[in-house]
Every structure is written in C-alpha cells, then in structure tokens.
Amino acid sequence: MPSQKSKANTGNLMVNVFDGARQAIPKTIKPLIRIIDGNQHQWFANYRKGPSVAFRGVPFFDNFGDNYTVIVWAENHIQAGFTPVKISPNAWQHIDLMLLPKEGNFNFAPARWEVLQSTHSKLFSLLSHGATNDAVARDRYNDLMETRAATLAAFFNIATATADILLPAGCPLDYFKELVWEEMQQDRFFAYADRALVAQVERAAAHGLFAPEVGSGFFHHGATRSYKQVQFGEANVQFTFHEGDTRVIDGVECVRVEPDMDYYKDIGAHALLEVLPNTISGRLTDPKQVYVLRWIAGRHAGVPEFNPPYTIV
C-alpha cells in the first residue's frame, strides 16, 4: 500500500473509469491504476475493481509535486490518462478517464439519418445542404457512414466541439453553410462559412478563447490565418481560414474554412508529436483518440459533456 502521511499533508483522489459509450465501466473490469506525483515518483500502481476507486492520504507537497498523473489500463483496452491532476490538502479531487476496447467499433445508432433530423437539427441541415433532394442527401450520408466511418466520426467530433464554443454572437456552427463533401477527411473537414465567422473568431481570440497560429500556411496549404482554441490541454478545435476561396451561398458571402482538432495544445508538441509522426507514417489523426481526449478534458474542466452522436463499443 502507498505510504500514509498526516492528514494536514495529504489530499484525496477519486478515479472514475468510463467506457466508450460514456458509461461507467462494469464492476467486472479491474483496471490497473497508476498514480505518479509531480516529482515523477510512482505513488500507487495496482489493480482495483471499478468503476470508481477512492484514494485517501495522497501526499501533498505544496509545490509542483502536487501535479499528479493518473493512468488507467485494462486487458484488451487502450491505456488512458490525464495530467495534471492537482492534489490539495484535506480535499477530494475527481478525475474521469475513458477506456476504449482495443478492437472498438463506431456505433452510429444515435446518428441514423432519421434520428439525426430530430436530435441534431443544425448538423442535419449542414449535412443536407447542397444535395438536390432529400433522398440524395440521405444516400450521400449513409454512404459516408458505411464506407468511411472514421471520417464521419471525425466530422462529429469537430462539429460537436464547435457547437460548444461560445462566440460573441452564437457558436461557430451557426455560421457554417455547406460542406465540401469530396474533401472530408479522417482528421478534418472543409466547408464554406459566412465570412462573419472570421471576425467572430478574431474577437474571441482578443478575449483569450483562441490563439493565432504562427505560420498557418505551412501546416495548412493556402491558409490566410488560423486560430486554435486554448480552453483545454488537449483536443482543442482549430479554425483555419482560406479567405482567397469564396462563394455566395443562400445570398451570403462565404469563405472556405478548415476546422480540425489536434491532440496537443502546445504548437511544439503538435508539430513534433503529431504532425511529424503522422507525416512519416502516412497516418492521420485518429478520431477515436480525439474522442477520448476531448471527453476527458471536458470532464476535468467541468463543462457540459462532450457527446457526439456516436459511441465506441
């Protein structure tokens, strides 16, 4: 057992473990839990029956040592973790983590076309726009679901996170008019949005919600400017604008926008740990990992749950 300190020099930690359906894991799963303090000393490492495990007497240092890392793993599941989990004396800190099955699949039952129309009207409208009729829109959508599931999951990740961002007027999703279907990818999508979105994001950046990306044209060919959300440690939304590419949609002047979500907030970490490895390997950002990172980050921040219309089972 981890060593105990006096109550004045300890805090308490509750580790809650969830599955890819955003539900508490069954009690039959015993995850391996590792707790590492800010001094990189492993305070605890053992199996415990989930879904919630309480740890009392966690050492408090009153310095950077209180920035703990919590990691969970279970057989046939993908490891997950979060840092920093800041321990305070005589107080409970809660951390919610998500374990995905190694062979997990996308479950789009909540996103069936007829369901989406009634539960996510903004997404339904965006996915429908540009089609000649309802049947064409439905078939186009169902083909994406059946043949490129990861691309659809990435779209839902980004669109859901986008809908949760508060701008001076509305949310970014309110400004999107039409998708560029032939350029939808596993790590981003392209769309045309009301030009007013550029000014709205710029104003939000002035209030600290976004940070401009230096050299956006290097990471995004043809980009004129780019802004990354800075609310979370991981899985923030980035809006990259291609203001030289315009069109009028429904009487509104629109610009091409490229929204995506990166694993890492820090531009250096993004370049070295995400862009470079993906470039070398030919892989794209994994929507499953984005799903986990954004859900954990949101739970830790105490904001409404990240709940795209799909799960991973």
Residue 292 is predicted with a pLDDT of: 97
Q: What is the tens place of the pLDDT at every residue in 181-227?
A: 999 999 999 999 999 999 999 999 999 999 998 766 556 778 999 99
- The one-character DSSP state at 241 is E
Residues in the chain: 313
Residue range 7-100, CATH number: 2.60.40.10
d(CA 171, CA 201): 10
Q: Provide the pLDDT for residue 284.
A: 75
Q: Identify the pLDDT of residue 263.
A: 86
Query: Which of 87-96, 270-279, 301-310 bottoms out in mean pLDDT, i.e. has the lowest?
Result: 270-279
Percent of the chain past pLDDT 70, that is, above it, reads 89
At residue 1, does pLDDT exceed 70? no
Q: Is the pLDDT of residue 2 over 70?
A: no
Q: State the residue for tokens 């001094």.
A: 39
Q: What was the pLDDT predicted at 217?
A: 59
> Quick one: pLDDT band at residue 176, thresholds 50, 70, 90?
very high
- Model pTM? 0.91
Is the per-residue pLDDT at 36 higher than 70? Answer: yes
Residue with tokens 């030009």: 195
The angle that helices 121-128 and 134-147 make with each other, rounded to 10 degrees, is: 100
Per DSSP, helices labelled H in 103-236 are 113-119, 121-128, 134-147, 149-163, 196-206, 216-219
Question: pLDDT band at residue 98, thresholds of 50, 70 and 90?
Answer: very high
User: CA-to-CA distance for 70 and 243, rounded, in angstroms?
Assistant: 43
- Would you kindly state where each structural domain of the chain is located, as residue ranges? 7-100, 106-312
Task: Give the number of other CB atoms < 10 A from CB of residue 180.
Answer: 15
**Radius of gyration (Cα) for the chain, nearest Å?**
21
Residues 71, 104, 106, 264, CA torsion sign? positive
pLDDT at 275: 42
Residues ≥6 apart with Cβ < 8 Å to 133: none
Q: What pLDDT, on the 0 to 100 scale, is given for residue 270?
A: 39
Q: Could you give phi then psi for residue 39, rounded to 5 degrees?
A: -90, 5
Stretch 158-180: mean pLDDT: 97
What confidence tens digit (pLDDT) does each residue in 108-157 have? Answer: 999 999 999 999 999 999 999 999 999 999 999 999 999 999 999 999 99
First to last CA, the chain: 34
Confidence of residue 7 (pLDDT cuts 50, 70, 90): low
| pLDDT single digits (tens) 22-34 | 999 999 999 999 9
Residue 266's pLDDT is what?
A: 47
- pLDDT (tens digit per residue) in 265-305: 544 433 433 343 444 345 678 999 999 999 999 999 999 99
Whole-number pLDDT of residue 267:
46
